[in-house]
Amino acid sequence: MKNKIKLSTLVIFLSILLINNVDAQDKVLINNVQIFDGNNVITSNGAVRIEGNLITEVSKIPLKALSGEKEIDGQGKFLMPGLIDAHVHLAWNLSPTQSTFAANEYIAALTLVEAKATVMRGFTSVRDVGGPARGVKKAIDQSFFTGPRIWYAGAAIGMTAGHSDMRSPEARSRQMGGEAWTDGEHSGITILADGVPEVLTAARMQMRRGACFLKMFTSGAVSGVYDPLDIAEYSFDEIKAAADEAKRWNTYLAVHSYNDKGTQQALKAGAMSIEHATLITEETAKLMAEKGAFLSTQTGIYLADAPADWSDNQKAKQQAAKDGLDNLFALAKKYDIKITLGTDLVGNMKLKKQQAYELTNRLKWFTPIEILRQATVNNAELLSFSGPRNPYPGKLGVIEEGAFADLLLIDGNPIDNLELFNNPGKNLLIIMKDGKFVKQIEN
Ligand SMILES: [Zn+2]
């Protein structure tokens, strides 16, 4: 018996077949699997039926295959919804210096490579919180390339001397006859806007490009050149202008904000997704809960080594953000704030390989099942918050009848061992997105 199990495991391992952009099998039955439905493990030996791009049946016991249905024997392995990363920058794969000299088509090419790597790590959906994702998303949605579902904000809106201002301190602002287009704007990652009229124009430019939500920098940043962590960026009126514009488009404003002042101001102005927020006080956590805003958190960017070219000041800011994590997560739990999971890894593709480490990093604060919920149902709720600007309306982040068939079959139980995600090539046996196999086992 023992030998038999070993042999079948070996056969599966050897027969893993990577298939890209395979047409949807019209009808698929994944049988004999443990199912985590996004909230809980609902069965140790059940089945999921898929037709087209949707899950049509979830059973707590194995099912008989219907005629014309492709049956996959899951051999008791772990089936769960595809992971979602709520904070990425798919197009930000170069350092600021490299970006300055990069051609836009080179940036797009790297984005496509990173998009494929992302889905191969098990992330079937991402929220892109700043960067040019429009064309890449279209090419992926049309199945020309392999990649995740993408919700994008377009260029993130920032003020002069704010997080996105990478110009020389002597540069003249364009309102005073300076250069028309900064490097950040050229690459499409950020856009500079000062004052309510410019903020409105910048916001509307993103909506014209099909943004699913808006993104703005409303506090000092860890990697920023001119902005200390303690400052609130933008006036209340400028943030409110962006939040109101997002609301007019029936979507929401996400803000980059670390400190208490900037976060509180943004919440009062109507922002509904707070990115980072590691330096907030209890009063602001309470306000976030009252407003029903999402807390979009990352840990890996603070735990990772600082880039070699960072100044002591930037390194000190990274340490301060990291030191705030204990307090942030304690407050978020106390006030039952909606916590989402993101990574925010930028600047080079080697670093982005650590995307799945975000799950194991969180074990210091959360149980494995809480972390899996953050990466599935919680993140899906945030994605659906784009309302009519949600490019993929439907149920996501769950295994239930009528939900999108975005699924992972895992060789092992991640509730016992979240590290399984750190070796996706070996441990993710099936990756399915929109009913199509991105990676498939043959048995
Ligand atoms: Zn970011």
For residue 256, report the distance from its CA to the centre of ligand 1, in Å: 7
Give the separation between CA 322 and CA 155, rounded to whole angstroms.
26
Strands 253-259 and 273-279: parallel
For residue 14, report the distance from its CA to the centre of ligand 1, in Å: 39
For residue 212, report the distance from its CA to the centre of ligand 1, in Å: 16
Residue 5: the pLDDT is: 41
- Find the helix or strand (DSSP H, E) in which 242 lies: helix 236-248
For residue 366, report the distance from its CA to the centre of ligand 1, in Å: 22
Residue 384: the pLDDT is: 98
Give the separation between CA 311 and CA 382, rounded to whole angstroms.
34
Please report, for residues 98, 165, 366, 422, the alpha-carbon distance to residue 40 in angstroms, rounded to integers and kept in the order given: 44, 44, 15, 22
For residue 305, report the distance from its CA to the centre of ligand 1, in Å: 17
**CA nearest to 113, candidates 138, 134, 140:** 140
For residue 131, report the distance from its CA to the centre of ligand 1, in Å: 10
Please report, for residues 64, 80, 155, 372, 375, the alpha-carbon distance to residue 413 in angstroms, rounded to integers and kept in the order given: 25, 10, 39, 12, 16
Using an 8 Å Cβ cutoff, are 124 and 148 in contact?
A: yes
Helix (H, G, I), strand (E, B) or coil at 208: helix
Residue 305: the pLDDT is: 83
For residue 377, report the distance from its CA to the centre of ligand 1, in Å: 21
For residue 346, report the distance from its CA to the centre of ligand 1, in Å: 8
Residue 116: the pLDDT is: 98
For residue 186, report the distance from its CA to the centre of ligand 1, in Å: 18
Two structure tokens written together for 50: 């898929």
Residue 344: the pLDDT is: 95
What CATH fold (topology level) applies to the domain 2-82+397-440? Urease, subunit C; domain 1 (2.30.40)
pTM to 2 decimals? 0.92
For residue 276, report the distance from its CA to the centre of ligand 1, in Å: 9
Give the separation between CA 222 and CA 229, rounded to whole angstroms.
7
Give the separation between CA 287 and CA 20, rounded to whole angstroms.
45
For residue 47, report the distance from its CA to the centre of ligand 1, in Å: 38
For residue 321, report the distance from its CA to the centre of ligand 1, in Å: 14
Give the separation between CA 198 and CA 275, rounded to whole angstroms.
23
Residue 187: the pLDDT is: 83
For residue 226, report the distance from its CA to the centre of ligand 1, in Å: 17
For residue 92, report the distance from its CA to the centre of ligand 1, in Å: 10
For residue 150, report the distance from its CA to the centre of ligand 1, in Å: 15
Which ranges in the chain are annotated with CATH 3.20.20.140?
83-365
Render 117-137 in DSSP notation, one character per residue. HHHHTTEEEEEE-SS--HHHH
Burial pattern 278-302, b for ≥16 Cβ within 10 A else e, equals bbbeeebbebbbeeebbbbbbbbbb
Residue 340: the pLDDT is: 98
For residue 174, report the distance from its CA to the centre of ligand 1, in Å: 25
Q: What is the pLDDT of residues 353-373, one digit of tens each?
A: 999 999 999 999 999 999 999
Which ranges in the chain are annotated with CATH 2.30.40.10?
2-82+397-440
For residue 31, report the distance from its CA to the centre of ligand 1, in Å: 39
For residue 176, report the distance from its CA to the centre of ligand 1, in Å: 29
Two structure tokens written together for 190: 């950020």
Give the separation between CA 15 and CA 12, rounded to whole angstroms.
5
Using an 8 Å Cβ cutoff, are 246 and 206 in contact?
A: no
* 83-365: in CATH 3.90.79.10: no
Residue 27's beta-bridge partner residues?
51
Residue 132: the pLDDT is: 94
Please report, for residues 99, 326, 390, the alpha-carbon distance to residue 395 in angstroms, rounded to integers and kept in the order given: 37, 32, 11
For residue 85, report the distance from its CA to the centre of ligand 1, in Å: 12
For residue 134, report the distance from its CA to the centre of ligand 1, in Å: 17
Residue 78: the pLDDT is: 98
Cα-based angle 433, 439, 440 (whole degrees, multiple of 5) = 110
Low-confidence ranges of the chain (pLDDT < 50): 1-24
Phi-psi region of 5 (alpha: psi -120 to 50; beta: other; left: phi over 0): alpha
Give the separation between CA 249 and CA 252, rounded to whole angstroms.
8
Give the separation between CA 232 and CA 222, rounded to whole angstroms.
13
Q: Is 242 exposed, middle or buried (0-12, 13-18, 19+ CB in 10 A)?
A: buried
Two structure tokens written together for 413: 């139980």
Edge-to-edge strand order for the sheet containing 123-128? 83-88, 123-128, 149-152
For residue 33, report the distance from its CA to the centre of ligand 1, in Å: 36
- CA 20 to the chain's CA centroid: 22
Residue 1: the pLDDT is: 38
Give the separation between CA 182 and CA 168, rounded to whole angstroms.
11
Q: Is 132 exposed, middle or buried (0-12, 13-18, 19+ CB in 10 A)?
A: buried
Q: Is 431 exposed, middle or buried (0-12, 13-18, 19+ CB in 10 A)?
A: buried
Residue 73's beta-bridge partner residues?
31
Strands 428-433 and 83-88: unpaired
Amino acid at 153: A
Using an 8 Å Cβ cutoff, are 255 and 273 in contact?
A: yes
For residue 359, report the distance from its CA to the centre of ligand 1, in Å: 18
- Find the helix or strand (DSSP H, E) in which 436 lies: strand 436-441
For residue 129, report the distance from its CA to the centre of ligand 1, in Å: 6
